Amino acid sequence: MNVQLLNKKEAIFESTLKLINEHGFHGTPMSQIAAHANVATGTIYHYFNSKDELILELFKYCREKTNEHIFNFDEDLVYKDRFFYIWNRLVDYYLTHKETFWFIEQFYSSPYYELIKQKKTTYYGVDKMYLFFEEGIKSGIIRNVSFYTLISVYIGSATSHVKMVTYGFCKMQSKSREDLIEIIWNGVKNQ
Amino acid sequence: MNVQLLNKKEAIFESTLKLINEHGFHGTPMSQIAAHANVATGTIYHYFNSKDELILELFKYCREKTNEHIFNFDEDLVYKDRFFYIWNRLVDYYLTHKETFWFIEQFYSSPYYELIKQKKTTYYGVDKMYLFFEEGIKSGIIRNVSFYTLISVYIGSATSHVKMVTYGFCKMQSKSREDLIEIIWNGVKNQ
DNA sequence: ATTTAGTAATTGAACGTTCATTCGGTTGCA
DNA sequence: TGCAACCGAATGAACGTTCAATTACTAAAT
């Protein structure tokens, strides 16, 4: 465990991530998080006011890390290539950071998300996706449908795929992946 | 199982569903479930051995109810119509039973699902979907891709749409819905 | 270069509460 | 009369949070 090498706050984040994945929000006491991160229980309260705040901050931390990864591409690529690239980067990131993926999923479908939703701060990732789809529509490459329709099909398929793979249902990963983004592209492109 | 018994058990189910949606797995004590269902705390333990078992049984109950609803269609419809019909029935059911939807989502992304996954019982819904997609592939109507690819895109888009709507992000519901299943169909159909 | 003082980080035992589960007793029905 | 359904106070373990005490760091003063 190289958790010790990170700074205390990140160690707490990483330990929380791991333990919540194994035992859920309710099944991971602060004392266990502290033990796993090699800090005292009280130390967590130096960085976070409560368990809820810790989980909220961890969610933002995970979301940022994910966004940093997927929007890191060559601007010169043609639209279709970027369409495939971003999707594949997202799937890659989630498959190599399954704990992040499942934590985000768990968070989104829990009552915690209500707390974030209130603050209508448009965050980096959504903005980026919006601009990307807008570009595709304006240039006539993809169909003129609402942003949320595009997000549903683009992100929805990616997360479903990751779920299938991590559940162990999906045998031929790479073939399925290629088929899947191909299907989305076919459905979304104009004509 | 007599009628009285069924009522109490269903009351417990419905109360658990409602409260877990509001406060999450951890935030809903057995005492609250009991109070909401108008039974004594001890009574829950007459029907279920533990809180975990209650949640597991509730999951199966929700999944069954959903499947009953979506596969209830006219066998004479042409394939494309059934493709649209089943998807719309699923979206309809989830939008009119949001608590069921969110409970299932919460369950799937929590460690609870591991407990169900172990028992490799193929259940009604998956069988039905498998046969439906197999028919489409064999008759050459939809592309020959793996079952899990089709499921990812078909179910993934439906759940993403329901999320968007219940989060309040998606304004023009019915237009988005039509666009969305249209996109999926375009992506999946042959040629 | 060393001291000093002030601040931030850290500790973990202790506290008070909450909650899942139990159990001895009661009710209602066959 | 017997048995299943039902009740809810009691139990005890677990957990989030607090806090008084300790250590580590920073930088100004000597």
CATH of the domain at A113: 1.10.357.10
Query: Does one domain contain both A67 and A23?
Result: no
The one-letter amino acid at A68: E
In a domain, A109, yes or no: yes
Contacts of A187 in chain B (CB under 8 A): 182-188
Instruction: Measure the CA angle with vertex B127, ends A173 and B61; round to 5°.
Output: 110
Say if residues A105 and A57 touch (Cβ distance below 8 Å). Answer: no
Judgement on whether residues A125 and A161 belong to the same structural domain of the protein: yes
Structure tokens at B133: 């997609």
pLDDT at residue A178 greater than cutoff 90: yes
Distance, CA of B136 to CA of A180 (rounded, Å):
17
Looking at the fold, whether A87 and A165 belong to one and the same domain comes out as yes
DSSP state of B119: S
Note whether B20 and B69 are same-domain residues. Answer: no
The pair of three-digit structure tokens given for residue B167, joined into one six-digit string? 């989060």
DSSP string, B18-83: HHHHHHTTTT--HHHHHHHTTS-HHHHHHH-SSHHHHHHHHHHHHHHHHHHHHT---TTS-HHHHH
Shortest CA–C1' contact from B45: which nucleotide? C21
Domain check: are B17 and B108 in the same one? no
Contact (CB, 8 A) for A176 and B151: no
Q: Taking CB atoms and an 8 Å cutoff, what residues of chain B touch A120?
A: none
Nucleotide nearest to B43 (CA to C1'): D6
Tell me the nt nearest to B44, Cα to C1'. Answer: D6
Nucleotides of strand C under 7 angstroms from a protein beta carbon: 9-14, 18-24
Structure tokens at A121: 């701060």
Residue A30 lies in a domain: yes
Residue A106 inside a domain? The answer is yes
Distance CA A79, CA A93 (A): 21
In this prediction, residues B17-36 reach a mean pLDDT of 95
Q: Looking at the complex, report in whole angstroms how far the Cα of residue B71 sits from the nearest Cα belonging to chain A.
A: 21
* Residues whose CB is less than 8 angstroms from the CB of residue B6 and which lie 6 or more positions away in sequence, other chains included: none
Whether residues B139 and B64 share a domain: the answer is yes
How many residues would you count in chain A? 191
Same domain, B144 and B184: yes
Give the residue nearest to nucleotide D15 (CA to C1'): A29
Domain shared by B87 and B176, yes or no? yes
Residues of A in contact with B159 (CB under 8 A): 156, 160
Supply A167's token pair: 């559940």
Residues A148 and A70 in one domain: yes
Dihedral over Cα of A107, A112, A114, A119: its sign: negative
Chain D bases near protein CB atoms (7 A cut-off): 5-10, 14-20
Q: Is A130 exposed, middle or buried (0-12, 13-18, 19+ CB in 10 A)?
A: middle
Listed residue (B76, B107, B90) closest to B155, CA to CA: B90
CATH of the domain at B14: 1.10.10.60
Q: Show the domain range for A18.
A: 1-47
**pLDDT at B6 exceeding the cut of 70:** no
Kindly state whether residues A6 and A81 are assigned to the same domain. Answer: no
A123 and A173, same domain (yes or no) = yes
Q: How many domains does chain B have?
A: 2
pLDDT of residue A119: 72
Q: Quick one: closest CA in B to A145, which residue? A: B179
Chain A and chain B share a number of CB contacts under 8 A equal to 142
Give the tens place of pLDDT for each residue, A76-106.
Answer: 899 999 999 999 999 999 999 999 999 999 9
- In DSSP terms, A142 is beta-bridged to A189
Number of H helices, E strands in chain A: 10, 0
Min distance B3 CA to chain A CA atoms (Å): 33
Contact A183 B24 (CB under 8 A): no
Task: Tell which wins on pLDDT, A125 or A165.
Answer: A165
How far is CA A95 from each of CA A48, A99, A101, A127, A179, rounded to the nearest angstrom?
29, 9, 8, 24, 17
Q: How does pLDDT run across A43-77, given as a tens digit for each residue?
A: 999 999 999 999 999 999 999 999 999 988 888 89
Task: Please tell me the distance from the alpha carbon of residue A167 to that of residue A161, in angstroms, as a whole number.
Answer: 10
Considering chain A, what percentage of its residues have pLDDT values greater than 90?
Answer: 79
- Domain match, A108 and A20 both: no
Nucleotide nearest B1, CA–C1', reads D4
The verdict on a CB contact (< 8 Å) between A109 and B112 is no
Residue B121 has pLDDT above 70, yes or no: no
Shortest CA distance to A107 belongs to which of A93, A117, A120, A119? A117
Q: Which residues of B touch A160 (CB under 8 A)?
A: 151-153, 155-156, 159
Residue A6: pLDDT band (50, 70, 90) is low
Could you tell me if residue A169 is inside a domain? yes
Beta bridge partner(s), residue B108: none
Say yes or no for a CB contact (<8 Å) between A25 and B22.
no
